[in-house]
Structure 1
Amino acid sequence: MRVSFRNFDPWVLSAVYGSPNRIIRRSLWSSIISLAENNTHPWCLLGDFNSILHNHERRGGSTRVLAGACSEFQHCVSSCGLIDLGYDGWPFTRKRGNLVERLDRGLSNLDWQIRFPEARIIHLPPLKSDHNPICLQLETTSFPNRGRRPFRFQAAWLTYPDFKNVVNSSWSIENSWNNGISSFRDSLKKWNTNVFGNILKKKRKIIRRLQGITNTLDQGNNNFLEELRGQLWKEY
């Protein structure tokens, strides 16, 4: 996928999913190597590779040696001149029983690293999955206030059950078109801050609690925390 970002020249983003079967996964390594040979743009790969890159990225589970699987992934990364983008957060992205692994990651070539020197991968807490979602953040610096932002309709508002009532109560046929639009916009802004915004705050709070539970469970199993995590997933 070609990505255009502000005034930069386009760069390439590849979304990756590797088969859990090692034999089938070899076709992924071959495809990545083939893409690298024909690519001339800054390039980033992001997703679930279903393979660890180093032995320390796996803990617990079977003691069966996985050096062969690691070496195949390492050969692919080395052949393509790719760089691991690292991560912030919990060091693993998949937990099943007492097995934890870092299967999800971001990789890039040198041109992409030069283009986005502040880019980082953030490991988010798991939500109804045994994998942690990962987030690619291109910049860490905040932008200065550029003045009053224009009003924009948020598609997420439509998911709120009471949104239709908000529209009906904030629109009056007695107003002119311009006055009606202005009143409607102001009502939505206030509702977004006081009602819908509170929902988003609750979701962010749940995510922080899930992250704390994940960090604690990394020290060992805890039935109470496992049940609490399930309840938080339902609330989210």
Structure 2
Amino acid sequence: MFDTMGNFRKGGTRLFRYVAAWNDHPAFPEFFRSVWDNSRGFYDNVNRFQEGSRRWSMDVFGHINKRKNRLMTRLRGIDKAMEVSFRHLLSRLEVKLKRELDEVLEQENRLW
């Protein structure tokens, strides 16, 4: 059920919630084009979007907290390894992971 008023239903399926952070994911525009068909009616498109976005969110977008924790764990590992011996490969990886973490933190911020 699509509910724009924020009403909660007891039992049954969970209400659909649009996650604004999806907009920032590079694969989202293509996903949207794949489920939205202008030859269909508005409500049919909304239903298709809701169903597809649940799968897309889990399969492609992923869980923000899990991604954040995974990135932070990897960065801590790099820090420990760099304390022992500086390596250019680790340094480049650290920069890349920090960029990814910044993106995830921005997505997390948009959730709130």
TM tier relative to shorter chain: 0.5 to 0.7
Answer yes or no: is the 8 Å Cα contact 1:206–1:232 preserved in 2: no
Structure 1 counterpart of 2:75: 210
Q: CA deviation at 1:228?
A: 1.3
Go from structure 1 to structure 2 and tell me whether the alpha carbon gap of 1:213 and 1:147 turns closer, same or farther (over 3 Å shift): farther
Structure 2 counterpart of 1:232: 94
Go from structure 1 to structure 2 and tell me whether the alpha carbon gap of 1:229 and 1:148 turns closer, same or farther (over 3 Å shift): farther
Answer yes or no: is the 8 Å Cα contact 2:78–2:94 preserved in 1: no
Q: Which amino acid aligns with 2:96?
A: K
Question: Which stretches of structure 1, 4 residues or more, deviate above 4 A after TM superposition?
Answer: 198-203
1: CA distance between counterparts of 2:30 and 2:43? 21
Provide Cα deviations, 1:12-63, integer angstroms capped at 9, x if missing partner: xxxxxxxxxxxxxxxxxxxxxxxxxxxxxxxxxxxxxxxxxxxxxxxxxxxx
Go from structure 1 to structure 2 and tell me whether the alpha carbon gap of 1:206 and 1:229 turns closer, same or farther (over 3 Å shift): farther
Q: Which amino acid aligns with 2:95?
A: W
2:55 to 182, 190, 205: 190
Unaligned runs of 5+ in 2: 1-10, 101-112
Go from structure 1 to structure 2 and tell me whether the alpha carbon gap of 1:162 and 1:173 turns closer, same or farther (over 3 Å shift): same
Go from structure 1 to structure 2 and tell me whether the alpha carbon gap of 1:165 and 1:157 turns closer, same or farther (over 3 Å shift): same
- So what's the TM-score if we normalise by structure 1? 0.31
Go from structure 1 to structure 2 and tell me whether the alpha carbon gap of 1:158 and 1:222 turns closer, same or farther (over 3 Å shift): same
- So what's the TM-score if we normalise by structure 2? 0.58
% of aligned pairs identical?
28
Structure 2 counterpart of 1:165: 30
1:51-62 matches, cutoff 5 A: none
Answer yes or no: is the 8 Å Cα contact 1:170–1:187 preserved in 2: yes
Q: CA deviation at 1:174?
A: 3.2
| Residue 48 of structure 2 is aligned to residue 222 of structure 1 | no
Structure 2 counterpart of 1:180: 45
Higher share in strand: 1
